[in-house]
Structure 1
Amino acid sequence: MTSAVGERFGTGPLARGAALVHHLLVVEVLLVVTAGPALGLLTLLDRDWSNLPLAAVCALPAGPALSAALFALHHRRLDLADLRPAAAFLRGYRLNAGAAVRVWGLWLAWMSVLGVNLTHLGAAGLPGWWAGPLVLVGAGATLWMLNALVICSLFEFRTRDAARLAAYLLVRTSSVTVANACLIVVALGVTWAFSDAVLALAGSLLVLALLGGSRRLIDVVRTEYTR
């Protein structure tokens, strides 16, 4: 009798929901701890486009933190008797920090260049309509970064191979690309309607949404590009 009760413990819908909430809360706290101090420096910068490079440096620690969150939520266990999200987060941080910094840093550098160009179109003698193509390039770079971050966080690839695969899968897994585009719109909407702080406090939810939208990509990489 005791054995049967033990087998049922922590396996029901309510228990699994509580376990998921626990994972999200712990991962959110760890995201704030690992990326928050550097991102907090952004609030001290003047809202001036000339500070874009410095803002990119402040945002650099967010890359490994997001990668660790992806790893932890992907490997989450919904058994109330075996909850170790903090251990999974720290393991993901240790394993993937280097690759995440390279992918995230490349994206930040590219977005800084695009931002500077957007704000100096007149100085460069370019017409205003050039802003449209530059925004599209920035959107494409962000979609690529999300793919690359997922791949680097969940699989073992060289960074250049992960970058190429992420670009290829933008087209191959178009449903993932659309889902990520919607996620970007939601993130921008939250930032515009509220603040950067609200977006940061919803970090674990956004990571969970990114994982959910990337299932097709994860399946393709696992079945076709890993042994």
Structure 2
Amino acid sequence: MTREAGAPDPRRGILGRATGVVYWYLLVEACFLLAAAPAFIGMLLLERDASNVPLYALCLIPVGPAFSAAMSTIAARSDELTVWPQFWKAYARNVVDVLWVWVPALALAAVLGITVAYGATAGVDGFFVVAAVVFLVILALWAANALVIASFFSFRARDIARLALYYLAARPLVTLGAFSYLLIAAAIVTFTSDWVLALLGVFFAAFAVVNAKSMTTDIRARFVAPEA
């Protein structure tokens, strides 16, 4: 059966548009889960123990490029259901830049995490344990900025690192927003499981894109040369 000429396209109705949006985000989530599958499989095999912090950091390596591709795909959303090619083009475009900042961040996070977990047992002064917690939070916020910048701009790794650090103070509302969704993510992992957080990955990616909009707009205006 074909639609009669002049009849309204059901896809343009409210229900059709709502269904299309839901379906579009589900496709992005599916792509994200597939790209980050090695990470989730690895974490599934690990016990929740402080001794496994370095292994958790190693498992999380694929999550950075996958999350970056999800953000890029969401930012370029259109009514066309072409998520699959959009996602993997974004993944291929961003993966190197993302890994340049994501891998060092995970390595440093593992060191700080071990310090926090075993500092008291090893006789480390309480001041240094508290300092490690503070630096771990700052590192997480810096990594959130760095992922966004690496996802939307082709800068050198050291420039991404500097800009990510600069905007922690230059855009405090962006930093506060990043802190809020990182806190929610930590709470989800603590009280439920890693898989619940993974299944909500697309929502966190969408929130990160919206939250960082003022930062990306400022970067585009100040640090990107206008096209000829």
TM-score (norm 2): 0.89
CA offsets 1:11-52 (integer angstroms, 9 cap, x no match)? 665544333322210111111111123321112123332222
Cα deviation for residue 203 of structure 1 reads 0.4
Q: 1:158 to 1:135 in 2, by over 3 A?
A: same
Which residue identity does 1:173 align to in structure 2?
A: R
Q: Which amino acid aligns with 2:20?
A: A
Q: Which residue of 2 aligns with 1:161?
A: 159
- Which string of whole-angstrom CA distances, capped at 9 and with x for unpartnered residues, describes residues 77-103 of structure 1? 1x2xx2211111101101010111121
The one-letter amino acid paired with 2:37 is: G
Query: Could you tell me how far 1:123 is from its partner in structure 2?
Result: 5.4
Q: In the alignment, which residue of structure 1 is the partner of 2:45?
A: 44
Q: Which amino acid aligns with 1:108?
A: L
The 3-state SS of whatever aligns with 2:36 is helix
Identify the match of residue 200 of structure 1 among 185, 198, 201.
Answer: 198
Q: Give the match for residue 148 of structure 2.
A: 150
CA distance in 2, matches of 1:173, 1:105: 24
Residue identity in the other structure for 2:163: L
Correspondence for 1:138 among 122, 136, 141: 136
Assess if the C-alpha contact under 8 Å between 2:98 and 2:147 holds in 1: yes
Which blocks of at least 5 consecutive residues in structure 1 are unaligned?
none
Q: Hey, what's the Cα distance between the residues in 1 that align with 2:26 and 2:72?
A: 15
Contact 1:104–1:145 (8 Å) recurs in 2: yes
Q: Percent identity?
A: 34
2:36 aligned with 1:31, yes or no?
Answer: no
Displacement, 1:104? 1.3
Distance (Å, rounded) in 1 between the aligned partners of 2:187 and 2:50: 20
Please, which moves more after superposition, 51-60 or 128-137?
128-137
How far is 1:223 from its partner? 1.1
- Structure 1 position 134, deviation (Å): 1.3
Q: Is the 8 A contact 2:40 2:195 kept in 1?
A: no
Structure 1 length-normalised TM: 0.89
> Is the contact made by 2:65 and 2:99 (CA closer than 8 Å) also made in structure 1?
yes
- Matches of 2:184 and 2:197 in 1, distance apart? 10
Q: After superposition, give the CA deviation of every residue in 1:124-161 in whole Å (9 maximum; x if it has no partner).
A: 53233433221111111011111110011011111111
- How far residue 193 of structure 1 moved from its aligned partner, in angstroms, is 2.2
Pick the aligned partner of 1:117 from 115, 118, 121. Answer: 115
Aligned partner of 2:180: which letter?
C
The 2-side partners of 1:3 and 1:172 are apart by 53
For these two proteins, the number of residue pairs brought into alignment is: 222
Runs of 4+ more than 6 Å apart: none
Take 1:144 and 1:124, find their aligned partners in 2: how far apart are those partners?
Answer: 28
